[in-house]
């Protein structure tokens, strides 16, 4: 019997905007239902409505039955009993779920005591047990810690512990790992799986990450514009999608095991819930659209065993066996002329030589005194040749942002050298620095924050032009807007009138204004929805090839990196762990950290995900104020644990430097015991190729 039965759930916000327009699904015991959708698709609102957590003034209709008991219209005090006991929810941001003034242990114990009749000591003991279950080291000590003393990953685990405290029948996870780094995400997903086995609960997993769903879910529900558009078993959805949106979504994601070449973008933007198109909500973006699609919204109809599709051409898609790549036009990206010249003969546009950046660690409110040093960047070296993309990857806190800022400031570094286009930043004068700013530009991560909200787009793009005294500004602005795929008439609008993807294009146009040679890309697509991402990645690639640009690409998403970069440098705690061409690093990673990183990334491929063995890392990143001696990775290194005591001593005493690996031309790793391992298994169809 199913635990949760949702029927025709609709949510209307004040002002008549329908955020959810008829969602139905069932979850059985021990089953994981994945709900995917982009922002604004109504996926989170649906689960908030089920939990009864929406604001008072929104209207919920339809039926939500938990064990046959209707939840909609239930009184708040009864609902409270259900919430936390039978259903628990895990949010994206665990900090907001804990009260900052009580210890984690107390809060979990309280959750236990609300729904079970146990005394205080028992509840406290249970809290420690639960923390142990979710893999928090020294749970008895950590239970006495306050929420802010936990790292993000630990907090998310503690939240899972609290969620399963009362053996719920259903867990709703809303983007549970989105805010976490990949290695931490892998840990947390593993904990979720354990938690599910322990409790036998059903799980509703809401996320935009198709990789996470592939590894976790049994069934998948795809949402678009407040409605499910496709529903079925995970294999059916991933291998045999029958709705163009799902097909496009699957084809548009870059994969770490993927080939190079253009991604499949879905044109346009999701419709706003306030003004939906008359027929199929996907029609304005659908390449398979026929006139009939505009007449009436296609209902979600059964199509084969246990699956439902909302598309009038689903039959045809099934018969012809169409995939996203067949249906969506794949842009042709012209090849670059620059790369025909061998790398060694091309000029170097950026060179970092043992660059160091330390911050003083201060303490005290009135009398500040220095209590230590944050080794944010501790001697890194790399170079970028003309027409090349180097990706700097690593998890938060690894020093990649500091590196980027140091380069952009064009100021003398604390140690080492930064050479931009042959000019050393420590010896240049103010005039050279200003001239150099023309050739060095940046694209920021958050396209909203990077554009002045009070400036029309035309002024934003014109700003660098005027700053460097260009004539004919208006014509150039129009030209730039066209270059990034926007209409020149948009120049008079303000940034907030654009969607995320368009804003990022504006940011790119601004960076291109002065015809730079090197562009620093700071996580340029990580704030964008999947279907939008592909278009921006393609644009970046095209611009690079046609304009002969070089990119320094800072990212944490290794799949995007594989797609866009030529070379990659993996950073860990202020040092480069591994560097080399994308092919060698991804296919034969030699540093244990790179191996763990690559193996932690979920693949949007259920079959591969099921058979994959993860290299899980223990614990969190050590503090950069107190890095471990010798090899910085040793506290978490899975290889270190397997070494003999003698071999271990070398890791503790001697800091490894980057050594070139014998098997490849351009590949080096900073590990005493580097050894190439294959962690990504190529998918079948690739092997056929």
Partner 1 sequence: MRSKVVLRRLFRNNQARYGFVALVALVLVAYVGPYIGKYDWTEKDFMAFLSAPSADHWWGTTSIGQDLYAVTLRGMQKSILIGLMVALISTGLAAIVGAFAGYFGGWVDRVLMWGVELLLVLPSFLLIAIISPRLKSGNWLWFVVLLAAFSWMITSRVVRSMTMSLREREYVQAALYMGIPRWKIIFRHIVPNMSSLLIIDATLNVSSAIIGEAALSFFGFGIQPPDVSLGTLIATGSDNATGYPWLFVFPAGLLVLLVLSVNLIGDGLRDALDPGSNS
Most distant CA pair in the chain: distance in Å? 78
Which of partner 1, ligand SF4, none lies near 215, with the C-beta cut-off 5 to 8 A by kind? Answer: none
> Of the two residues 550 and 594, which places its CB atom closer to partner 1 in the complex?
550
Q: 288 or 428, CB closer to ligand SF4?
A: 288
Shortest distance, CB of residue 437 to partner 1, whole angstroms?
Answer: 4
Which CB atom, from 309 or from 461, has the smaller least distance to ligand SF4? Answer: 309
With CB cut-offs between 5 and 8 Å by kind, which of ligand SF4, partner 1, none does residue 592 bind? ligand SF4
**Residue whose entry in the numeric block shows the structure tokens 């005290």:** 364
DSSP type of residue 92? S
The listed partner (ligand SF4, partner 1, none) that binds 97, CB under 5 to 8 Å by sort, is none
Q: Is the Cβ of residue 57 or residue 496 nearer to partner 1 in the bound state?
A: 496
Order of strands, edge to edge, in the sheet holding 202-207?
87-90, 170-174, 202-207, 32-36, 219-224, 227-233, 308-309, 301-302
- What is the rounded distance in angstroms from the CA atom of residue 251 to the CA atom of residue 62? 34
Q: How many other C-beta atoms lie within 10 A of the C-beta of residue 673?
A: 18
CB closer to ligand SF4, 477 vs 576:
576
* DSSP structural state of residue 34: E
173 or 451: whose CB is closer to partner 1? 451
**74 burial via Cβ count (<10 Å: 0-12, 13-18, 19+):** middle
In angstroms, rounded to a whole number, what is the distance separating the alpha carbons of residues 256 and 560?
Answer: 8
Q: Which does 462 bind (CB under 5 to 8 A by kind): partner 1, ligand SF4, none?
A: partner 1
**Residue 244 binds: one of partner 1, ligand SF4, none (C-beta under 5 to 8 A by kind):** ligand SF4
Return the one option of ligand SF4, partner 1, none that residue 468 interacts with (CB less than 5 to 8 A, by type). Answer: partner 1
Q: Which is nearer to ligand SF4, 205 or 225 (CB)?
A: 225
Chain-centroid distance of CA 189 in Å reads 15
In the block, residue with structure tokens 């010249």: 341
Beta carbon of residue 241, minimum distance to ligand SF4 (angstroms, whole number)? 11
In the complex, minimum distance from the CB of residue 603 to ligand SF4, in angstroms, rounded to a whole number: 25
Least Å from the CB of residue 558 to partner 1: 24
User: Closer to partner 1 at the Cβ: 118 or 408?
Assistant: 408
Coil/strand/helix, residue 136: coil
List residues near ligand SF4 by CB under 6 A. Answer: 243-244, 280, 282-283, 286, 288-289, 293, 298, 311-313, 592, 631, 633-634, 637, 639-640, 651, 656, 671-673
User: How far apart are the two ends of the chain, measured CA to CA in Å?
Assistant: 44
Taking the complex as a whole, how short is the minimal distance between the CB of residue 318 and ligand SF4, in angstroms?
12
Burial 331-352 (b: 16+ CB within 10 A, else e): eebeebebbeeebeebebbbbb
To ligand SF4, the closest distance from the beta carbon of 303 in angstroms equals 12
> At its nearest, how many Å lie between partner 1 and the CB of residue 474?
8
Min dist CB 518 to partner 1, Å, is 12
Q: Which residues share a beta bridge with 424?
A: 419
Of 104 and 477, which CB lies nearer to partner 1 in the complex structure?
477
Minimum Å gap between C-beta 502 and partner 1 is 15
- 392 forms bridges with which residues in the sheet? 554, 569
283 binds, among ligand SF4, partner 1, none (CB under 5 to 8 A by kind): ligand SF4
Q: CB under 5 to 8 A by kind: which of partner 1, ligand SF4, none does 491 bind?
A: partner 1
CB of 369 to partner 1, least distance (A): 19
One-letter-per-residue 3-state SS of 222-272: EEECCEEEEEEEHHHHHHCCCCHHHHHHHHHCCCCCCCCCCCCCCCCCCCC
Q: Nearer Cβ to partner 1, position 284 or 456?
A: 456
**Between 203 and 293, CB nearer to ligand SF4:** 293
Interaction partner, residue 451 (ligand SF4, partner 1, none; CB < 5-8 Å by kind): partner 1
* Closest CB 95 distance from ligand SF4, rounded Å: 32
Partner from ligand SF4, partner 1, none contacting 211, C-beta within 5 to 8 A by type: none
Query: Which partner in ligand SF4, partner 1, none is near 476 (CB below 5 to 8 A by kind)?
Result: none
Q: Which of 65, 62, 19, 27 is nearest to 43 (CA)?
A: 19
- The b/e string for 84-103 (b: 16+ C-beta within 10 A; e otherwise) is bbbbbbbbbebeebbeeeeb
Q: How far is CA 490 from the centre of its chain?
A: 30
Q: For strand 227-233 and strand 348-363, is the pairing parallel, antiparallel, or unpaired?
A: unpaired
Q: Which residue's CB is nearer to ligand SF4, number 491 or number 577? A: 577
**Which residues sit at the interface with partner 1, rule CB under 8 A?**
408, 433-434, 437-438, 440-442, 444-446, 449-456, 458-459, 462-464, 467-468, 491-492, 494-497, 510
Q: Which does 673 bind (CB under 5 to 8 A by kind): ligand SF4, partner 1, none?
A: ligand SF4
What's the rounded Cα separation, in Å, for the pair 101 and 110? Answer: 14
CB of 544 to partner 1, least distance (A): 20
How many angstroms separate the CA atoms of 590 and 670, rounded? 9
Q: Please, are residues 420 and 440 in contact by the beta-carbon 8 Å criterion?
A: yes
What does 551-563 look like in DSSP terms, one character per residue? Answer: EEEEES-HHHHHH
Distance CA 234, CA 35 (A): 11
Q: Find the shortest distance in angstroms from Cβ 529 to ligand SF4.
A: 18
Nearer to ligand SF4, 492 or 647 (CB): 647
Q: Which does 637 bind (CB under 5 to 8 A by kind): partner 1, ligand SF4, none?
A: ligand SF4
Instruction: Give the list of residues 6+ apart from residue 471 with CB closer than 8 angstroms, or none.
Output: none
């Amino acid at each position: 019997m199913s635990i949760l039965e949702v029927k025709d759930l609709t949510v209307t916000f004040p002002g008549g905007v329908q955020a959810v327009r008829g969602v139905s699904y069932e979850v059985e015991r021990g089953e994981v239902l994945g709900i995917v959708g982009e922002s604004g698709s109504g996926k989170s609102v649906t689960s908030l409505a089920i939990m009864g957590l929406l604001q008072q003034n929104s209207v919920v209709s339809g039926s939500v039955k938990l064990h046959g008991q209707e939840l909609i219209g239930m009184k708040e005090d009864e609902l409270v009993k259900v919430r936390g006991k039978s259903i628990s929810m895990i949010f994206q941001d665990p900090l907001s779920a804990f009260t900052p003034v009580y210890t984690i242990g107390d809060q979990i114990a309280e959750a236990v005591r609300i729904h079970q009749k146990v005394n205080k000591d028992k509840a406290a003991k249970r809290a420690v047990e639960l923390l142990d279950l979710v893999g928090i080291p020294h749970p008895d000590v950590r239970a006495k810690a306050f929420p802010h003393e936990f790292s993000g990953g630990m907090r998310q685990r503690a939240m899972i512990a609290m969620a399963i405290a009362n053996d719920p029948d259903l867990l709703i996870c809303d983007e549970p790992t989105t805010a976490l780094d990949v290695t931490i995400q892998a840990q947390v997903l593993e904990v979720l799986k354990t938690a599910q086995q322990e409790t036998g609960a059903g799980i509703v997993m809401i996320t935009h990450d198709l990789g996470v769903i592939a590894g976790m879910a049994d069934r998948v529900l795809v949402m678009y514009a407040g409605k499910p558009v496709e529903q079925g078993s995970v294999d059916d959805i991933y291998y045999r999608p029958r709705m163009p949106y799902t097909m496009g979504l699957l084809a548009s994601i870059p994969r770490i095991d993927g080939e190079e070449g253009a991604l499949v973008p879905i044109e346009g933007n999701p419709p706003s819930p306030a003004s939906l198109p008359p027929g199929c909500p996907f029609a304005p973006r659908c390449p398979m659209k026929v006139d009939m699609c505009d007449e009436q919204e296609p209902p979600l109809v059964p199509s084969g065993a246990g699956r439902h599709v909302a598309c009038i051409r689903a039959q045809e898609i099934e018969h012809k066996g169409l995939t996203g790549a067949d249906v969506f036009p794949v842009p042709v990206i012209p090849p670059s002329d620059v790369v025909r010249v061998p790398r060694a003969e091309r000029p170097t546009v950026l060179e970092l030589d043992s660059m160091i950046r330390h911050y003083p660690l201060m303490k005290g409110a009135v009398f500040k005194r220095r209590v230590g040093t944050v080794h944010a960047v501790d001697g890194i070296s790399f170079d970028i040749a003309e027409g090349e993309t180097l990706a700097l990857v690593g998890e938060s806190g690894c020093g990649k942002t500091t590196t980027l800022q140091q380069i952009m400031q064009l100021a003398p570094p604390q140690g080492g050298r930064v050479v931009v286009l042959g000019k050393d930043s420590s010896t240049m004068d103010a005039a050279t620095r200003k001239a150099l700013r023309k050739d060095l530009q940046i694209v920021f991560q958050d396209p909203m924050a990077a554009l002045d909200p009070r400036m029309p787009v035309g002024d934003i793009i014109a700003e660098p032009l005027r700053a460097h005294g260009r004539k004919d500004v208006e014509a150039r602005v129009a030209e730039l807007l066209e270059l990034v795929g926007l209409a020149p008439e948009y120049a008079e609008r303000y940034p907030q009138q654009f969607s995320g993807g368009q804003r990022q294009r504006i940011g790119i146009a601004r960076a291109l204004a002065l015809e730079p040679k090197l562009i620093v890309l700071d996580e340029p697509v990580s704030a964008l929805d999947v279907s939008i991402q592909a278009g921006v990645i393609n644009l970046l690639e095209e611009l690079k090839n046609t304009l002969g640009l070089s990119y320094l690409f800072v990212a944490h998403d290794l799949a995007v990196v594989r797609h866009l970069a030529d070379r990659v440098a993996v950073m860990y705690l202020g040092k480069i762990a591994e560097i080399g061409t994308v092919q060698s690093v991804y296919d034969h990673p030699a540093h244990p950290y790179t191996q763990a990183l690559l193996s932690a990334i979920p693949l949007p491929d259920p079959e591969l995900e099921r058979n994959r063995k993860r290299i899980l890392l223990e614990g969190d990143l050590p503090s950069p104020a107190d890095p471990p001696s010798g090899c910085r990775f040793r506290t978490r290194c899975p290889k270190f644990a397997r070494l003999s005591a003698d071999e271990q001593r070398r890791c503790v005493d001697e800091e490894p430097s980057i050594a070139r690996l014998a098997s490849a031309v351009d590949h080096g790793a900073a590990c005493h015991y580097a050894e190439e391992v294959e962690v990504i298994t190529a998918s079948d169809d690739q092997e056929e190729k």
